[in-house]
Amino acid sequence: MQNYAEAVKDFAERHATCLTVVFVAGVGVLAFRRWMAGGVCRSKARLEGKTVLITGANTGIGKETALDMAQRGARVILACRDMTKARIAADEIRQKSGNGNVVVKKLDLASLQSVRDLAKDVEKNEERLDILINNAGIMMCPKWKTEDGFEMQFGVNHLGHFLLTNCLLDLLKKSAPSRIVIVSSLAHERGQIHFDDINIDKDYTPQKSYRQSKLANVLFGKELATRLNGSGVTVYSLHPGVIRTELGRHLFNSFPMWKIMLAKVFMRLVKNPREGAQTTIYCAVDESLANSSGLYYSDCAPKKPAPQALDDAAAKKLWDLSASMVGLS
């Protein structure tokens, strides 16, 4: 025992600098993790008798948001493109929350027909809709097109949700006070709307397209809030943080091995899906936001978005363009 303690002491003395570095780095990593984890939604709001619809709720932060809504007692509709994955997620959510009122509905945002079919189903079969959460997203995929010929990221992240939201507005108004939550991203800050080439047919890059679609999310939220002023339907857009989800699937595919390894280490340090869902949950239920609309949030607090996301004229122009693309009058 004596020898062991002496050996440890000896080791510590000889490697003092090294141990200090390891200790400081450890504390640094823990502090970074804590900072990364971000804000928490502290609202205890209950949602019995209310209905929440979440797009892309079979995985990632959408699934965590759906679980939270179910735990608060809501009827939760998971609107997903893959019904097998959606049913597995719904089973898990029912089991974890003890709330049996969790249902799945088919929605492929890359098809305007599918969006219209889902909206019709909801309008016909649901008595109310209190919270709509536009969460689904695709990031940095190759140059793909939706069923209707739109560039994939703009088509899914913005246009599909634009049409869905507009088709559900009557039900949302009928259920007022109600909320629309739009999951955008920090990526909007480096985005611009390419009005003269909205499908980015010239010089497509996955980044350019993702940033455009996420800027479109914030501009849509702003214009929608203006149009809904006084209706009792309020609108929120947000950045959820950097989160360990499946969102990087297309991006990481293109990486060389060493970059994949680095990305894997980095992903251990970022938010987990539960932490990543907090700002969405906050916008969906927090009582303090009842009279706010059209603003942007990050880490469960309001945040000023990039200047191009505050451009009224661009928001109106994007609305008109989107309406004509999806065939809304």
Ligand X SMILES: *[C@@H]1O[C@H](CO)[C@@H](O)[C@H](O)[C@H]1NC(C)=O
Ligand Y SMILES: NC(=O)c1ccc[n+]([C@@H]2O[C@H](COP(=O)([O-])OP(=O)(O)OC[C@H]3O[C@@H](n4cnc5c(N)ncnc54)[C@H](OP(=O)(O)O)[C@@H]3O)[C@@H](O)[C@H]2O)c1
Q: Which is nearer to ligand Y, 152 or 285 (CB)?
A: 152
Q: Is 225 in the site for ligand X (CB under 6 A)?
A: yes
Q: Residue 61 corresponds to which amino acid?
A: I
Which of 68, 108, 286, 299 binds ligand Y (CB under 6 A)? It is 108
Q: State how far the Cα of 39 lies from the Cα of 44, in Å rounded to an integer.
A: 15
242 binds ligand Y, rule: CB under 6 A: yes
- 279 vs 293, which CB is nearer to ligand X? 293
- Looking at the chain, list the stretches that DSSP marks H as alpha helix, in order from N- to C-terminal side: 2-14, 16-37, 60-71, 83-97, 112-125, 152-153, 161-174, 206-227, 249-253, 257-269, 273-276, 278-285, 312-326
Q: Which does 293 bind (CB under 5 to 8 A by kind): ligand X, ligand Y, none?
A: ligand X
The partner residues of 183 in beta bridges, in order of sequence, read 238
Q: Helix or strand or coil: residue 106?
A: strand
Q: How many CB atoms lie within 10 A of CB 40?
A: 14
Is 210 assigned a catalytic role? yes
Of residues 162-201, those binding ligand Y (CB under 6 A): 183, 185
If the CB atoms of residues 61 and 74 are measured against ligand Y, the closer one turns out to be 61
- Give the x/- contact pattern for ligand X in 226-255, rule: CB under 6 A: x--x--------------------------
Residue 284 binds to ligand X (criterion: CB under 6 A): no
Residue 11: CB minimum distance to ligand Y, A? 41
Beta-strand relationship, 301-302 and 295-298 = antiparallel
Instruction: Give the interface size with ligand Y as a residue count (CB under 6 A).
Output: 30
Q: Are 39 and 301 in contact (CB under 8 A)?
A: yes
Q: What is the CA radius of gyration of the chain?
A: 22
135 binds, among ligand Y, ligand X, none (CB under 5 to 8 A by kind): ligand Y
Q: Residue 315 interacts with ligand X (CB under 6 A)? A: no
Instruction: Tell me which of 269, 290, 301, 328 binds ligand X, using CB under 6 A.
Output: 290
- 294 lies in the binding site for ligand X (CB under 6 A): yes
Q: What are phi and psi of 166, to 5 degrees?
A: -60, -40
38 binds ligand Y (CB under 6 A): no
- The least distance separating ligand X from the CB of residue 328, rounded to whole angstroms, comes to 21
Instruction: Report what 246 binds from ligand Y, ligand X, none; CB cut-off 5-8 Å by kind.
Output: ligand Y
**Part of the chain binding ligand Y (CB under 6 A), chosen from 5-13, 26-34, 55-63, 289-297:** 55-63
Q: Which of 210, 236, 296, 297 is catalytic?
A: 210
Is there a contact between 38 and 278 (Cβ–Cβ < 8 Å)?
yes
d(CA 17, CA 236): 50
Of the candidates 240, 239, 238, the one whose C-alpha atom is nearest the C-alpha of residue 294 is: 238
Q: Which residue has the tokens 């219209």?
A: 116
Binding status of residue 209 toward ligand Y by CB under 6 A: no
Angle between helices 60-71 and 278-285 (to 10 degrees): 40
Q: Choosing among ligand X, ligand Y, none, which partner's interface includes residue 38 (Cβ < 5 to 8 Å by kind)? A: none
- Return d(Cα 163, Cα 112) in angstroms, integer: 8
| Residue 231 CB-density burial (10 A; 0-12 exposed, 13-18 middle, 19+ buried) | middle
Question: Which tokens sit at 105?
Answer: 């509905």
Residue ranges that bind ligand Y, judged by CB under 6 A: 55-56, 58-62, 80-82, 85, 107-110, 135-139, 156, 183, 185, 239-240, 242-243, 245-247
- The residues that are catalytic are 210
